[in-house]
Amino acid sequence: MRKIFLVALIYCLGVLVTACGGGSSNTENVPAAAPTSATTPSNTSFTVGGTVSGLNGSLSIKNNGTDQLTVNTSGQFIFATPTAQGGQYNVTITSQPSTQICTLTNYFGTNVTANITTIVISCVDNPPATTTLSISTTSLALAASGNPRILILTNTGTETASSINMTSTPALPTGTSKSTTCSASLAPGSSCAITITPGFTPNSAVGSTSVASAMAISGSNTNNVSADIYVLTYGNIYQSGYIFSIDDLTATTSSIGGKVFSLSNQSPAAHWSPDNFGIGVTELSTAPPCNGASDGQCNTSLIVGYYSSTPSNSYAAGLCKSTINGYADWYLPAICEMNSSSTVTCSAQNDIQSKLITTNIIPLNANYWSSTEYAASGIAWFSNLSTSGGGSDFFSNKNAQLVTRCARKLTN
């Protein structure tokens, strides 16, 4: 009995220990702990910047309307606030340098996925403030081998004119020179002088149309001005006629004076007047109203005024009141303007016969009406303008049909 009890007790103790698990090392059925997930964070923002070139001063820029940056030197720049991944950038200039203008390129972008380095800012200096130049005349005529004449250049604006330059195209004729008090700059309200001293050679050959040397003047911050420079002599064609008289005693800031003979005869031949009335412009009359022997312009004005109701194309002086080659101030020359060695007493002056006809610049051989009446009523003077032994003056009844050719005074 006692043996059976001991065996049963030992068995029960073994079962109890096994049930509590204290004696077992079997771990096959124990689940393993789940591993912890380790995720590497991605880059979520990027810098925004670029380069500046040519900067001379202080430039203010802004990104997306909030991130302000002041740049003081050329080179790279980066805004302080980065832009989120997938975001945008929009760079603007909020303040320019005081003496420059800067411009942006590549300044806007969206869906940003990398650092922005391609924004470009280029700066250039402001152009100088502009001003205005004026010149005393746009056309200056000089006598060959005559007196120097002057152009006045004035800065009429409010800023200094800079880098003033003068060129002549074509070049001034041989022997003609230019000197000036003008420098490279001209202060507001100031003037300087350009003096042209003519040489012996005219711009163009005798008997041909005079071609000017165009003097162009400009500055880096100014308008362009120019003046046509003519060096003239007897027989040059200028202002629609052949020059036969030169007055070089006019003001040095203006062109020469003088007279020209028209390029062709007026047609048809005409009488002096439709009647024999005496106008009072004879070889003996003096001013006022007219010096009849030498002032054809005054004579013509009186004649045309008297015959104002007569068709102008029916008498000599009237024919000269036509517009000829763009000018409407022609007149019938007086007898001494046609030939100062006339039988009429003439004061010393240049005349058509000696300057144009005898020299064969204009080959003529005809009788031309003058605007001078003969002292005897109903008669007027005419001149035989002829290359071959011409230059004689005569008088004729006013109803004779003679040739008309007109003259005019030069204008500035």
Nearest to 219 by CA among 160, 291, 266, 292: 160
Residue 106 C-alpha from the chain's centroid: 38
pLDDT of residue 15: 37
Record the tokens describing residue 139, joined without a space: 């056309």
For 100, the token pair is 């420059």
Confidence at residue 30, expressed as pLDDT on a 0 to 100 scale: 40
Question: What are the φ/ψ torsions at residue 18 (nearest 5 degrees)?
Answer: -65, -40
Give Cα 361 distance to the centre of its chain.
37
pLDDT of residue 389: 67
pLDDT of residue 250: 97
Say how far apart CA 205 and CA 211 lie, in whole Å.
Answer: 10
Q: What is the pLDDT of residue 8?
A: 41
Using left for φ > 0, alpha for ψ between -120 and 50, and beta otherwise, residue 391 falls in: left
Strands in 198-292 per DSSP E: 213-218, 225-232, 237-238, 241-247, 257-262, 266-270
* Consecutive H or E run containing 393: strand 392-397
What pLDDT is attached to residue 34?
A: 44
**What does DSSP assign to residue 157?**
S
Per-residue pLDDT of the chain (412 residues; tens, 9 = 90+): 444 443 343 443 343 334 434 443 343 444 444 444 444 445 689 999 999 999 999 999 999 999 999 999 999 999 999 999 999 999 999 999 999 999 999 999 999 999 999 999 999 999 889 999 999 999 999 999 999 999 999 999 999 999 999 999 999 999 999 999 999 999 999 999 999 999 999 999 999 999 999 999 999 999 999 999 999 999 999 999 999 999 999 999 999 999 999 999 998 899 999 998 999 999 999 988 999 999 999 999 999 999 999 999 999 999 999 999 999 999 999 999 999 887 888 887 899 999 999 999 999 999 999 999 999 878 999 999 998 866 789 999 999 999 999 999 999 8
* Residue 56 burial class via C-beta count within 10 angstroms: exposed 0-12, middle 13-18, buried 19 and up: middle
CB 93 within 8 A of CB 81: no
